[in-house]
Amino acid sequence: MSQRWLILGATGLLGPCFVKEIKDRGYQAITAARSNADVCFDLSDQSQLHQTLEDTKPDSVINCAANIYVDLCENDPAGSYLLNTRPLSTLADWSRENDKPLLQVSTDHYFTQGGNNPQSEDAPVDLVNEYARSKYLAEHLALTAPKALVLRTNIVGAQKGHGRWVKESLLNKAPMTLFMDFFASPLHVQDMARISLDLAQKQANGIYNVSSRDVSSKGEFIYAVAKAMNINPDWVIEGTGHQLATKRAMCLGLDVSKAESTLGYQLPTLEETAKKLANEAL
């Protein structure tokens, strides 16, 4: 496998897990973000991306950088395109011209039909907001390179975002409305990095779902985390994801059988993911 990895978006929720996993495997990790990284630049600026690829000469690139905030993307579609989508054209050119792997971290935010049934990689998509549009187009740009691996996922971790909110809210008995009609297959970020690198090691390319192997509602997942934390969440309210300001796709459970077949092992369960989040220090 490649020795020198450039990790774009290395300082967010997921990026640091890739950095750690790469170093643990004995490879070199070059981190990139707008600040606090080996290379600091704005990924929306294509000339700076070109320069970074030229200067760092990576063997593989992982792109974890994105504007993940659905409401912000909705209010700034052009900015969202420049960060979430446009760089993938440059990265795919780099991958093709140098015959090197490109890992694009994508999303599960594409499915409005099917309730809690798992969605396969070729399930029909329904793009209901700018975030989904920007990420879906990015997949297509990435896939113009034969060595592109597009990783569709739903991630949680205690350091940031939804997973941190869940843990803090449970610990503080904060008011919570649990969405019982919004389905997903959350995977812990550490498992996401490990499994994605295993797929890269197998020289997988194309689209792969990388998530937990179970589908649950957002509410069921929070109940599972509460159980793993020995907390009785008797104050929470059950509700609907339809109340969110920007429209969401809500049938986001992923079918991981393709990844399991390529890897020859089972991906984590909902319970394992909930336990991992529960046991992770804030």
Ligand X SMILES: NC(=O)c1ccc[n+]([C@@H]2O[C@H](COP(=O)([O-])OP(=O)(O)OC[C@H]3O[C@@H](n4cnc5c(N)ncnc54)[C@H](OP(=O)(O)O)[C@@H]3O)[C@@H](O)[C@H]2O)c1
- Which residues lie near ligand X (CB under 6 A)? 9-15, 33-35, 42-44, 64-66, 68, 83, 105, 107, 135, 153-155, 160-162
Closer by beta carbon to ligand X, 54 or else 99: 54
Q: How far is the CB of 90 from ligand X (least distance, A)?
A: 13
Are the C-beta atoms of residues 84 and 66 closer than 8 Å to each other?
Answer: yes
DSSP track, 172-239: HT---EEESS-EE--EEHHHHHHHHHHHHHTT--EEEE-S-SS-EEHHHHHHHHHHHTT---TT-EEE
DSSP-based three-state secondary structure for 152: strand
- How many angstroms separate the CA atoms of 75 and 149, rounded? 29
Q: State how far the Cα of 177 lies from the Cα of 50, in Å rounded to an integer.
A: 44
- Minimum gap (Å) between residue 99 Cβ and ligand X: 24
Question: Whose Cβ is closer to ligand X: residue 10's or residue 142's?
Answer: 10
Q: What is the rounded CA–CA span in Å between residue 31 and residue 16?
A: 9
State the nearest-atom distance from the C-beta of 65 to ligand X, in Å: 4
In angstroms, what is the minimal distance from the CB of 64 to ligand X? 4
CB of 112 to ligand X, least distance (A): 16
Q: What dihedral do alpha carbons 72, 74, 79, 80 form, nearest 10°? A: 90
Burial (CB < 10 A; 0-12, 13-18, 19+), residue 229, is: middle
d(CA 182, CA 217): 5
What are the two backbone dihedrals, phi and then psi, of residue 18, each rounded to the nearest 5 degrees?
-65, -45
As measured in angstroms, the least distance from the Cβ of 161 to ligand X is: 5
* 278 vs 130: CA distance, rounded Å: 32
Report the residue number whose CB is nearest to ligand X: 12
34 vs 140 by CB, closer to ligand X: 34
SS3 148: strand
Q: Which is nearer to ligand X, 118 or 235 (CB)?
A: 118
Residue in 25, 44, 26, 24 with CA at minimum distance from that of residue 34: 44
163/236 with CB nearer ligand X: 163
Least distance in Å: CB of 232 to ligand X?
Answer: 26
CB of 266 to ligand X, least distance (A): 21
- Output 176 or 184, the one with its CB closest to ligand X: 184
Q: Choose between 82 and 278: whose C-beta lies nearer to ligand X.
A: 82
Q: Considering beta carbons, is residue 20 or 160 the nearer one to ligand X?
A: 160
